[in-house]
Structure 1
Amino acid sequence: MAWPEQTGTHSWCVRYRRGGGTESIPGFPSEDAARDYISDMATDRRRGTWIDPADSNTTLATWIQRWFPSLDLDLDPRTLEHYRSYLRCHILPRFGDVALGAITALDVTSWVKCNVDAGYSPDTVAGWVKLLSMVLTDAVDQRLIPTNPVRQRRRRGRRSRRITPEKIWAAPEQVLRIANQAAALGGRIAWLLTITAAWTGCRWANSPDCTATTSTSTPATSLSTPNTARCTNATAHAGSAHRKPPHPPGRSRCHRS
């Protein structure tokens, strides 16, 4: 049962019974506005969609005290520890004292941006948001709030492109200089491995599998024909179905450090 009650010259509230006492919903400018709300409240109650404002005033910290013990018992202990850490260090300091019904999508978006600007990885912050969404989704299921504000977040405008480091390709003459420097430290094998990796695309892990099949008078001519070196790895073997695509003209596979 609910009824209107005047609280000031131009203000009214709606009172209703809850448990052994009464609760009030203030903020109505007239008796008619209060009665309209009572009518809507009765309709929502019949439909089973009414959310008690007193429940929406539950703080996030209070709700988490009920929510956390209800998590599945078969969750990995490390997962639970991550959840505790996220809640203790990041979520509760910002939203712990906020009522569930007062958390908005704008609040969550601002919190995310603040943490990313502070230097946290976007993927790390996304993990916190995912946990917060879990908490609020269960609050919706318990009829504490009507909707989950995290799910109401929308991206506005185009996302800026993240600048990725440019890959630097060494020119053939630069590869030769690198190989000569490697030879000064590791001998002819180091020279051969550097050249082979640069010209064939073999990964360093596969380079030791490369063996010379013919011998010529100079290193340059020994690498000038396709039959002078054989890489036993399938990705670099002639005729393999997984051969690597050709490199850009005039460029080698090596990256300059």
Structure 2
Amino acid sequence: MAYAEKVYKVRNGKKTTQFTWRCKYKAPPGHKPAWLTEPGFPTKKTAEEWGAEQEAAIRAGTWIDPQKLNTPFGKWVEIWKTANRRRPRTQSSRAYLLDKLLLPKWEYTALKDVNNVFAVQAWATEVSKPHGPHDPDTVAQARSLLSSILSGAEDAGYIHTNKLFGRRILAGVDHVDEGEEEVWAQPEDAQRLHQRFGGVQGLMVLTDCYLGFRWGELVGLHKDNCLLKRIDKIDGRPVVRHVIRVDPKVGALHEDPIELDEAGLAAWHQAEDARLEKCRAKGWKANRRKPPKSRLEVYLGPPKNKYSAREVDVPEFLVRLLDTHIEAWPYDHPFTTPSGSFWLRGNFSRELRPVADGRDAIPRKRGYAGREGWEPILTGFTMRGARHTADTWMKEDRVDRALRFATMGWVPKDIEGTYEHITPEMRRHRLDALTARWRRGRRVTLRSVA
């Protein structure tokens, strides 16, 4: 049975008359030590009541060892990471949020103290702009990761419950909304972007606006999966359509930052030594670069989920454009760089910016031919915005929900999605609507030029 005992305060090595109360209670069978203590109670009664609560929790099977409750957050994170392996890119994102936001604040804090909604809200406000160094969306991602880590601690019996679960914690005083809306295009915008960009880049933008692929699915596309023929029957007559297939095994390009281990870092230093030696041999001045924490691994792999492995119907005008391009393109992947290497997301985005946002003219001068200025077409437009565009158009054209989900590669989570099926008439309606949009976009573009 729990009991209380006095603990006298010591000052300058001598015991004083001031004291607090310490509770001693019996641990569960097999626990070492057999008796546990908890100090710091102001009265004998509060110490005994707390001990009685612990023994009641032990009998009910809901007791948690104080050693687990007092586990430092940083120590638990290492345990949690071992049990929650994810794709390299996900692991890299988690490592950034932990290193930059969570561990600097909570690394040595006990789990029971981290599991506090008020403390987490105060931290989110402190580190978010305009008063803190981090973007509110980044802080919101860190808070979500913190909740996942605490849920793991709850499942493992380190805390009673995750108090952050289901709680909406705003990241900063000015973070009212969930972020800016993605910029999407009208058909004439897509047409202008296609014409201004030109070449394979322009065709990539146009294709994504009409078909809505994820970035990795678009750049990872292989010739063998382009413009495959499928035959439907409408009113008893065969109807040919063309599709682009997202392969379930190698249908998407992945760009994963891989954390460098000792061997990888040694290889980097060796390559850096060789670079510096080469520069010195040529008489160039070169400084040693800072060692990276990770390297980028680019490879073809499965798309996002099993529903992402799909076939997307292609309207006839786009079939002609893609067929002409593929016939002349010398590489196996139709949407590579002109040299045949895979486009990286960041590299393509940098090229897209002046095309969509416009640019200033640079006059001709000696040694430089100059360049023309461009008016903005669609400021802030991205390739993610192209995917938004494809879905928005289908919604506006009243494309059936089942076909819209299948085209976008989304998971049908509700009972309606389980019982919905796609018919040839639905497919024809979507293709006809996209063709009408293409014609409208060309008319508007030609009229503005004239």
TM-score, normalising length: structure 1: 0.57
- Alpha-carbon distance between aligned partners in 2 of 1:45 and 1:162, rounded to the nearest angstrom: 43
**Partner of 2:20 in structure 1?**
11
The 3 A distance-change label for structure 1 pair 152 and 4 is farther
1:88 is the counterpart of 2:90 = no
1:113 is the counterpart of 2:122 = no
- Alpha-carbon distance between aligned partners in 2 of 1:164 and 1:71, rounded to the nearest angstrom: 31
Q: CA deviation at 1:81?
A: 2.6
**Partner of 1:213 in structure 2?**
none
**Partner of 2:88 in structure 1?**
77
- Alpha-carbon distance between aligned partners in 2 of 1:158 and 1:123, rounded to the nearest angstrom: 11
Please list, as runs of the form range in 1=range in 2, the aligned pairs for 1:121-132 lying within 5 A after superposition. Answer: 121-132=135-146
The percentage of aligned residue pairs carrying the same residue is 27
SS for the counterpart of 1:27 is strand
Tell me the C-alpha RMSD between the 2 structures: 4.3
What amino acid maps onto 1:27 in structure 2?
Answer: G
- Alpha-carbon distance between aligned partners in 2 of 1:31 and 1:162, rounded to the nearest angstrom: 50
What amino acid maps onto 1:14 in structure 2?
Answer: C
**Partner of 2:194 in structure 1?**
205
- Alpha-carbon distance between aligned partners in 1 of 2:103 and 2:82, rounded to the nearest angstrom: 16
- Alpha-carbon distance between aligned partners in 2 of 1:139 and 1:65, rounded to the nearest angstrom: 12
SS for the counterpart of 1:12 is strand
Pick from 39, 42, 46 the counterpart of residue 29 of structure 1. Answer: 42
Residues 106, 153 of structure 1: 8 Å contact kept: no
Residues 7, 13 of structure 1: 8 Å contact kept: yes
Q: CA deviation at 1:161?
A: 5.9
How many residue pairs are counted as aligned between the two chains? 193
Q: Who wins on radius of gyration, i.e. which is larger?
A: 1
Please give the per-residue CA displacement for 1:74-96, whole angstroms capped at 9, x wherever unaligned. Answer: x2122223222322232111100
- Structure number with greater CO (CA < 8 Å, separation at least 6) is 2
- Alpha-carbon distance between aligned partners in 2 of 1:136 and 1:161, rounded to the nearest angstrom: 25
Residues 23, 54 of structure 1: 8 Å contact kept: no
- Alpha-carbon distance between aligned partners in 2 of 1:162 and 1:56, rounded to the nearest angstrom: 33
- Alpha-carbon distance between aligned partners in 2 of 1:70 and 1:124, rounded to the nearest angstrom: 24
What amino acid maps onto 1:24 in structure 2?
Answer: T
Please list, as runs of the form range in 1=range in 2, the aligned pairs for 1:165-204 lying within 5 A after superposition. Answer: 197=188, 203-204=192-193
Please give the per-residue CA displacement for 1:47-84, whole angstroms capped at 9, x wherever unaligned. Answer: 22122333211111121232222224xx2122223222
The 3 A distance-change label for structure 1 pair 45 and 99 is same
Residues 25, 53 of structure 1: 8 Å contact kept: no
Please give the per-residue CA displacement for 1:167-206, whole angstroms capped at 9, x wherever unaligned. Answer: 9xxxxxxxxxxxxxxxxxxxxxxxxxxxxx59xx955437
Residues 13, 27 of structure 1: 8 Å contact kept: yes
- Alpha-carbon distance between aligned partners in 2 of 1:46 and 1:120, rounded to the nearest angstrom: 46
SS for the counterpart of 1:205 is helix
- Alpha-carbon distance between aligned partners in 2 of 1:159 and 1:122, rounded to the nearest angstrom: 6
SS for the counterpart of 1:7 is strand
- Alpha-carbon distance between aligned partners in 2 of 1:80 and 1:124, rounded to the nearest angstrom: 16
- Alpha-carbon distance between aligned partners in 1 of 2:98 and 2:20, rounded to the nearest angstrom: 40
Please give the per-residue CA displacement for 1:195-250, whole angstroms capped at 9, x wherever unaligned. Answer: xx59xx95543799xxxxxxxxxxxxxxxxxxxxxxx78x9xxxx64556xxxxxx
The 3 A distance-change label for structure 1 pair 137 and 6 is same
Q: CA deviation at 1:164?
A: 6.7
- Alpha-carbon distance between aligned partners in 2 of 1:163 and 1:143, rounded to the nearest angstrom: 36
**Partner of 1:41 in structure 2?**
54
Residues 55, 144 of structure 1: 8 Å contact kept: yes
1:134 is the counterpart of 2:145 = no
**Partner of 1:144 in structure 2?**
158
Residues 5, 12 of structure 1: 8 Å contact kept: yes
**Partner of 2:33 in structure 1?**
20
